[in-house]
Chains A and B, each alone.
Chain A
Amino acid sequence: MTDKGIGARVLRVEDARFITGRGHYVDDINRWGQLYAYFLRSPEAHADIARLDVSKAKAAPGVVEVLTGAEVKADGLGGMPVGWGITCKDKSMSIEPPYPILAQDRVRFVGELVAVVVAESKAAARDAAELIEVEYKSLPAITSTADAMKPNAPQLWPQAPKNMCFDWEIGDKAATEAALAKSHHVTRLEIVNQRLIPNAMEPRAAIAEFEPGTGQLTLYCTSQAPHAARLLLGAFILNQPEHKFRVVSPDVGGGFGSKIYPYAEYAVLCWAARRLKAAIKWTAERSESFVSDAHGRDHVTVAELGLDKDGKFTALRVNTIANLGAYLSAFAPLIPTYLYATLLAGQYTTPAIYADVQAVFTNTTPVDAYRGAGRPEATYVLERIVEVAAREIGMDPAELRRRNFIAPNAFPYQTPVALVYDSGNYAAALDKAMKLADYAGFPKRREEAKKRGKLRGIGISTPIEATGAAPSAIAGQLGARAGLFESAEVRFNPTGSVTVFLGSHNHGQGHATTFAQIVATTLGVPFENVEVVEGDTGNTQFGMGTYGSRTLSVGGSALYRACEKIIDKGKKIAAHLLEASEGDIEFENGVFKVAGTDRSKTIAEIAFAAYVPHDFPHDRLDPGLNEQAYFDPTNFNFPYGAYVCEVEVDPQTGETEIVNFTAVDDVGTIINPMIVHGQIEGGIVQGIGQAMTEQAVYGDSGQLLTGSFMDYTMPRADNVPFIVSDFTVTPCPDNPLGVKGCGEIGTIGAPPAVINALTDAIGVRDIAMPATPQRIWMALQQSGARQAA
């Protein structure tokens, strides 16, 4: 047995290079003779390009080329593709306006690409860009989600009246409305889930290199899904055949969804490199990232929860307007539909649910998946309305939740919103969290704080989410234009070490360590002898990449399957070497043994024999020990948790300290507890960021006012506490490892826990996110004024 296998706290192999500054991020890569690109971006939110003259820029020192939308059109390039189509209430399809890789005639958001300068140095490219003459004819802009469908709103697309991309619904409208009408109590809540900017610490970057001798295009880029990037860029935009196109995504400094899809910059770079037969490098400046990385969230919602006289939920009705931005990003239509409304049952037995979503175009940066992608929005609606309902009916919020939890013996559980939950014990997680957080002792702590002039509050949230995208058949039925399987290859080298090729991508999750642990346990190969390779389409079989907390359950299962195939082949080789029948061979802890004897071979000996097959019966036994497997899951999996947040507010200033954040999560089997803890802690802090500090703000003219770290408030070390993180373990029945996703639940569960605690502390019904000190102080003033009046 190994002490570095499944379940062990193994230190990460990745760290060796990162702690010594020897990471290999895209901007660290340089190609001989490379040129540099600088993008000219629209400073206008909505305008016609009346005149675009690049002649002076073209003549500037060091400039090789300047390209605009005119050349894109002349070369017949495709636009940015959309990976998911939504069927509307009236059976029509979601509107997909053309999304050119360089603006054609009109710009529709601040930051949209207008031109690219390619030069011999970054400085020369940037200086030359200032010589490009652009005359914009401004048009009225619409940025407000709530106002986009109003009659006087500026229209972005003639084919999308009322700026609506789609009008979609799920659930049983009639049953829900009837149940609400009959309910003993209905709680109504209006919620804004504010726009966020992912802001991974590494800005996006790319190098495109075209080799004329072979016709081979290579793209190094910051991508969470290199094979998907190759397919989308090659087939839909560039007309570059996949077998002549290699995408390499090396070390990537965080993604959180913002690096899933190929971006227009990568398409432009590839096209320019091919035209110029050169290598061209580009790295975003942070202010570019702010306007060009896909934004997250941005929903305006009205929700109604019905309860009977015992506090049992009778129905939930939700209407949401979702802002998709000026153009559709690759996954955009999926986020506010099948990743959102399908989670509105939460951990509860609500029998009737109906949700409808209108998605709108506005003159803002396109919106797509950001850590949680739809599930934070759903959880915020549910966990806030449950809390508000509890206070309205005078029931303890934990008790109200308990009364409505799905029972542990009710699985598989069919929700009224399509999903079938796999496994769970929600009450056990909540009990554990409340104990850990000393929920019972809170009233005393509140009293003590009051004596110091501070206001304490406590809030709960019980998130559940769907990870492990996705069963391809279901995805296809719902509008996906790609499968969502995952792949793995396990390749033994003659001397017994193993190289594992995964179709996923690591950008902080510790794949090289975690997956080596799985191989160590499953095949009995020493942990140190396993190398995990991801991110290069040149050496790795097709995979769908890493997002949606899918890699462990889908990719890990593909790896497990590949290991099973290795064991099968190993048994055949062992049977031959040990002169036994295959049925008599047992495999355990890296050893193949003839049952009932002590005749055995280690897996390393089997591997060597596989590559030195001098006496193999070649009609029945091939050389080699190398197996590939794909895994298409039969269901999503459903991690869940129970979070308790305690805050202390200074009523003089509105400043709030999170004095305790306790999280009990159930993510199924845990492979490396250290890594899983890290995912939870990091996810929760991003959720705290949404709750308390972060917001993407557009001015009326469509300028992104929060355009840098000076104005967009990222959580810093002195804003957040240590997170108390613990687990219950309810294995997932739908994959061989029993694992569920763990990368996003923290971001999903944290915001309502924080806001529930805050509203409890200051005694208001609701407060908008981010609950900045100013907002908290204002809320106190207003409620104080009301009390005084």
Chain B
Amino acid sequence: MVKLALKVNGKAVSAEVDDRTLLVQLLREHLRLTGTHVGCDTSQCGACVVHVDGKAVKSCTMFAAQANGSEVLTIEGLATGDKLHPVQIAFREHHGLQCGFCTPGMIMTAVDMIGRYDGKLDEQTVRHELEGNICRCTGYHNIVKAILAAAGEMSGARKVA
């Protein structure tokens, strides 16, 4: 067993869990934050992507213990109250989801890539950056469109501000 203290979506969290508990299990089973999903067991699919200390991480591939003392952001923490994040809005406006299962991981990956590229993304870069996220429903067509639109919107907003 291991004792943990970390922040999840801005809230302090403490837990005592089995050593082998994965971060995604801590989120889903202990904290009941079921928005982060498990889609595979070989770190390929990306449905489990969250942000740990500002970096996109596959939460199925790290132990909860490794997140001790860290700040974790999940899909549930992305919106500010009722105000959705521009990436969330873009996914809806561009029909970037169908069954919704890969969506939280896609959105968290998208937010991360837009941040790293400062919103300057093109189709090829987006597709390359999505290599770690698998979608079976959409064919990626509208996911790429949504991310490009959100990136444009967010860098445009920064210019205006």
Contact = CB atoms under 8 A, between A and B. Distances in A.
Interface string B130-156: 110111111111111100000000000
Given A19-B84, A256-B136, A678-B98, A287 B41 contact: yes
A760 B18 CA distance: 57
Interface in B26-55: 28, 33-42, 44-45, 47
Contact of A21 (B75, B98, B145): B75
B7 to A, nearest CB: 17
Contact of A11 (B79, B93, B130): B93
Nearest to B20: A123
A732 interface: no
Given A19-B92, A21-B34, A716-B134, A202 B99 contact: yes
A16 B102 CA distance: 15
Nearest to A707: B42
Interface string B96-129: 0111111110010000000000000001101110
B74 interface: yes
A256 B134 CA distance: 15
Given A253-B37, A708-B40, A717-B144, A681 B138 contact: yes
Contact of A714 (B88, B101, B123, B136): B136
Interface residues of B, number: 56
Given A254-B136, A684-B139, A723-B139, A285 B131 contact: no
Contacts of B42: 286, 708-710
Nearest to A17: B100
Nearest to B87: A19
Contact of A25 (B18, B101, B144): B101
A508 to B, nearest CB: 3
Contacts of A19: 75, 84, 88, 91-92, 97, 100, 103, 107
B41 A507 contact: no
A351 interface: no
Interface in A1-35: 11-12, 14-23, 25, 27-28
Nearest to A506: B99
A510 interface: yes
A686 B98 CA distance: 14
A286 B40 contact: yes
A669 interface: no
Interface in A155-204: 199-203
A21 B102 CA distance: 10
B46 to A, nearest CB: 10
Contacts of B16: none
A651 interface: no
B39 A203 contact: yes
A12 B95 contact: yes
Contacts of A615: none
A21 B141 contact: no
A22 B101 contact: no
Nearest to A687: B139
B140 A21 contact: no
A35 B104 CA distance: 28
B76 A508 contact: no
B60 to A, nearest CB: 10
A508 B98 contact: yes
B100 A14 contact: yes
Contacts of B139: 681-686, 715, 720, 723
Contact of B92 (A15, A507, A683): A15
B134 A709 contact: yes
A253 B100 contact: yes
B124 to A, nearest CB: 8
Contacts of B99: 200-202, 251-254, 507-508
A717 B44 contact: no
A59 interface: no
A675 interface: yes
A674 B95 contact: yes
Contacts of A709: 40, 42, 44-45, 134
B135 to A, nearest CB: 7
Contacts of A715: 139-140
Contact of B100 (A508, A716, A723): A508
Contact of A508 (B36, B127, B137, B144): B137
Contacts of A28: 28, 34
Q: Which residue of B92, B143, B144 has the most chain A CB atoms within 10 A of its CB atom?
A: B92
B76 A20 contact: yes
Q: Which residue of A287, A508, A684 has the most chain B CB atoms within 10 A of its CB atom?
A: A508
A783 interface: no
Nearest to A288: B41
B11 to A, nearest CB: 15
Contacts of A256: 136
A259 B93 CA distance: 28
A65 B141 CA distance: 47
Contact of A682 (B84, B88, B98, B126): B98
B18 A123 contact: yes
Contacts of B28: 27-28
A718 B41 contact: no
B97 A15 contact: yes
B92 A678 contact: no
Contacts of B126: 717
A716 B98 contact: no
Given A20-B79, A27-B38, A252-B99, A15 B135 contact: no
B133 to A, nearest CB: 7
Nearest to A200: B136
A283 B20 CA distance: 18
Interface in B47-84: 47, 74-76, 78-79, 84
B74 A21 contact: yes
B22 to A, nearest CB: 11
Contacts of A720: 139-140
Contacts of B93: 11
Q: Which residue of A11, A27, A201, A675 has the most chain B CB atoms within 10 A of its CB atom?
A: A201
Contacts of B127: 717-718
A709 B93 CA distance: 30
Contacts of B88: 19-20
B95 A20 contact: no
Contacts of B101: 23, 25, 200-202, 253-254
23 contacts: A11-B93, A14-B100, A15-B97, A16-B92, A21-B35, A21-B74, A27-B38, A201-B102, A202-B99, A251-B99, A286-B42, A286-B45, A677-B95, A678-B137, A678-B142, A685-B138, A685-B140, A708-B40, A708-B44, A709-B44, A716-B131, A717-B143, A722-B145
Nearest first, the 9 closest Cβ-Cβ pairs linking A and B are A21-B35, A253-B101, A18-B100, A685-B139, A508-B99, A21-B75, A508-B98, A709-B44, A717-B130
Given A15-B92, A19-B100, 7 more contacts: A15-B91, A17-B100, A21-B74, A201-B37, A678-B138, A682-B136, A722-B123
